[in-house]
Structure 1
Amino acid sequence: MKAKGAIKQNAIWLVFIGMVIIFSVANPTFVKPTNLIAISRQIAVYGIASIGMTFVILIAGIDLSIGSIITFVNIFCAWLMVNQNMPMWPAVLLSLLCATLIGVLNGFMVASIGIPALIATFASQTIFEGISYLISGGMPISGFTKAFDLFGKSSLGPVPVCAIIMIVCFLVGGFILNKTYFGRYFYAIGGNEEASELSGIRVNRTKYLIYALSGFFAGLAGIVMLSRTGSAQNTAGKGYEFDVITCVVLGGVSVNGGVGKMSGVVAGVLIIGSLTNGMILMNVNQYMQMVVKGIVLAIAVGIDCMSKKRQAV
């Protein structure tokens, strides 16, 4: 029984190893150091943003505004540095503050007003996508100082700084879930919100915190993306919420709430990053990649739902 449980718990990592083997055989370039470094840069944005999404899904919520927050931070931070001549660090910190406040707004709509998370975050997605266009006039913004390369292009030895930022964020996320009472609240609310309220947990305040954290991590992902691309685009984060949700659910975080680990999310991020990179190396076109990712998401959610039904029997 213990062996069976261990296999089930580590199945996601076995899938990742199997995928690496398949892509390595199909194209030996996949395991070359230069490509592995490229993958680590590519998954940094997904990885950082997935931490906040993990918290949200753990309480059986959803945050569709992540992609728009990434775009907004791209445009706003670039606008501050280029159009307003603001120094890099104040621009970065102000952008992260705005991203966190967007999360607080989502928390207000969900917790205080009672708008379903799907609708509330979709509204935020639409609002801040529009605000991004208004700030930039629909045009890309570029011309940053060399120092801004720190977040997305620089490396510490062979390891990209953006990968280090992602690893630190995962460690912080894991610490919050495993070592703080807030983490226990996340699981409790996702398991049974009414029981959590009756046991003395301030559910609404916790939701504010969770959506604020989601906004912050999405904003940090936006900073990393802006530094990596060197140009703020109005479509920078478009569709990223889909990939981030896929990473989280594939990593074993239940869409029904209350179940999931940060280590599983790490595996989910690695799988999606490797899948995307492997398909590019195999010359799979963009639209077929969308089909494959959609199938992966459907399978991951389907497995979660079937598991939930079996437990209920």
Structure 2
Amino acid sequence: MKPEPATKATWLQMTKQREFAAFVGLLILIVGFSIASPDFFSTYNLMNIMRQASIIAILAIGMTFVIIAGGIDLSVGAIASISGTLAAQVMISSGGGAFIGILTGLAVGIGVGLVNGLIISRFKVPPIIATLALMSVSQGLALAVTGGYPVSGLPDSFAWLGRGFVGVVPIPVIILLLMYIVAHIILNHTKFGAYVFGLGGNEEATRLAGLNVNKIKIWVYVVSGITAAVSGLILASRLGSGQPLAGQGMELNAIAAVVIGGASVAGGIGGVIGSLIGAMIMSVLNNGLDLMNINSYYQMIFTGIILALAVASQSKKQKRGR
């Protein structure tokens, strides 16, 4: 059964409690790795952590909206792939600059997100099935368009998106912070944000309140598509090419970031601040283990353990709350 946060104050309180717990976990990791490695707490390494976290963290914004609304989106990694790939293809084939490529990538993300929302809302297909199908379609299209090869030779004007700096701060980090500010305002200070929480907390009550549940679902998946497209564009810029498999597996990291950050997999509870903390936890963990020369295979194991513990902790608290 889904939790039933009856008021805005209820889900805000539960969200803040979970975000605080995630923040404490992040601080513990930072202190631990700072003691274990003298190179960890340097300006260069901290900026590197933020830059590494930016792609998954941006992807997690849309995933936060989806999970709070009681859904799931397995297509975001594939959307990132096809958005970056088609943007690169347009820039190369048409001779257009970065602006045209970015618009193309965003249009692709909006389009796939819209299709996801329509299939789920209009045809009542379960989100896990609908987005799994769109993941396959999007990934297949990215491979078909490129023949499975990277699209290289991108214009220099596109490189700033993933590799540029303002002072010592990477451009992706600036984009990340701006998007999180906007997302936080939308989710916590607008009617649409309240509708998203209401949908995830109790869909039937939301419908009986006279709200258009289908419309809310469509917009939630459009938001997810947009953030996935932005992640794909930044990734293509950083790699210097549009790679059809660049986003493969990123959907799992995005889900992990959102859940580790305190969102309930049952819907109705969560926030973008927690998702940012969750993405930072994953990035700090991977970076710290790299500095300690821990094999990447073990890093995957640690991430899986943290995710399992986060979900188990949430389930325990929800049972106590009933």
The CA RMSD over aligned residues, in Å, is: 1.4
Report SS of the residue matched to 1:142: coil
Q: Which amino acid letter does the alignment assign opposite residue 210 of structure 1? A: V
Report what 2:219 is aligned to: 209
Report SS of the residue matched to 2:40: helix
Report what 2:266 is aligned to: 256
- 1:184 lines up with 2:194 in the alignment: yes
Specify every segment of 5 or more residues in structure 1 that has no aligned partner in the other structure, as ranges: none
1:305 Cα deviation (Å)? Answer: 1.5
1:148 Cα deviation (Å)? Answer: 0.8
Distance 1:16 1:265 in 2: 12
1:93 Cα deviation (Å)? Answer: 0.6
Aligned counterpart in structure 2 of residue 113 of structure 1, from 92, 115, 123: 123
Between Structure 1 and Structure 2, how many residues are aligned?
A: 308
Distance 2:62 2:17 in 1: 27
Report what 1:59 is aligned to: 69
CA contact (8 A) 2:19 2:273 kept: no
Aligned counterpart in structure 1 of residue 234 of structure 2, from 207, 224, 228: 224
Distance 2:211 2:183 in 1: 20
Distance 1:191 1:216 in 2: 24
Aligned counterpart in structure 2 of residue 142 of structure 1, from 152, 162, 167: 152
Offset from partner CA, 1:253-293 (integer Å, 9 cap, x none): 11111111222122111111111111222222222121111
Larger deviation, residues 254-263 vs 55-64? 254-263
Report what 1:169 is aligned to: 179
Specify every segment of 5 or more residues in structure 2 that has no aligned partner in the other structure, as ranges: 1-13
Aligned counterpart in structure 1 of residue 58 of structure 2, from 31, 48, 53: 48
Distance 1:169 1:281 in 2: 30
Q: TM-score, normalised by structure 2?
A: 0.93
CA contact (8 A) 2:92 2:154 kept: yes
Larger deviation, residues 216-225 vs 291-300? 291-300
Report what 2:247 is aligned to: 237
Q: TM-score, normalised by structure 1?
A: 0.95
Percent sequence identity over aligned pairs: 37
Aligned counterpart in structure 2 of residue 308 of structure 1, from 307, 315, 318: 318
Report what 2:163 is aligned to: 153
Q: Which amino acid letter does the alignment assign opposite residue 22 of structure 1? A: G
1:82 Cα deviation (Å)? Answer: 1.5
Offset from partner CA, 1:176-216 (integer Å, 9 cap, x none): 11111000000101110000000011100000000000000
* 4+ residue segments displaced more than 3 Å: 5-9
Offset from partner CA, 1:234-261 (integer Å, 9 cap, x none): 2211110111101101111111111112
Distance 2:44 2:147 in 1: 37
Offset from partner CA, 1:133-175 (integer Å, 9 cap, x none): 0011111111111111121111111111110000001001101
Report what 2:49 is aligned to: 39
1:9 Cα deviation (Å)? Answer: 5.4
1:8 Cα deviation (Å)? Answer: 6.4
CA contact (8 A) 2:79 2:135 kept: yes
Offset from partner CA, 1:39-98 (integer Å, 9 cap, x none): 111111011111100000001100000100111112111111123322220121121011
Report what 1:75 is aligned to: 85
- 1:282 lines up with 2:292 in the alignment: yes
Report what 2:203 is aligned to: 193
Report what 2:143 is aligned to: 133
- 1:97 lines up with 2:107 in the alignment: yes
Report what 1:267 is aligned to: 277
Distance 1:286 1:195 in 2: 45
Distance 1:59 1:226 in 2: 30
CA contact (8 A) 2:256 2:307 kept: yes
- Alpha-carbon distance change, 52 to 272 in structure 1, aligned in 2, over 3 angstroms: same
Q: Which amino acid letter does the alignment assign opposite residue 307 of structure 2? A: L
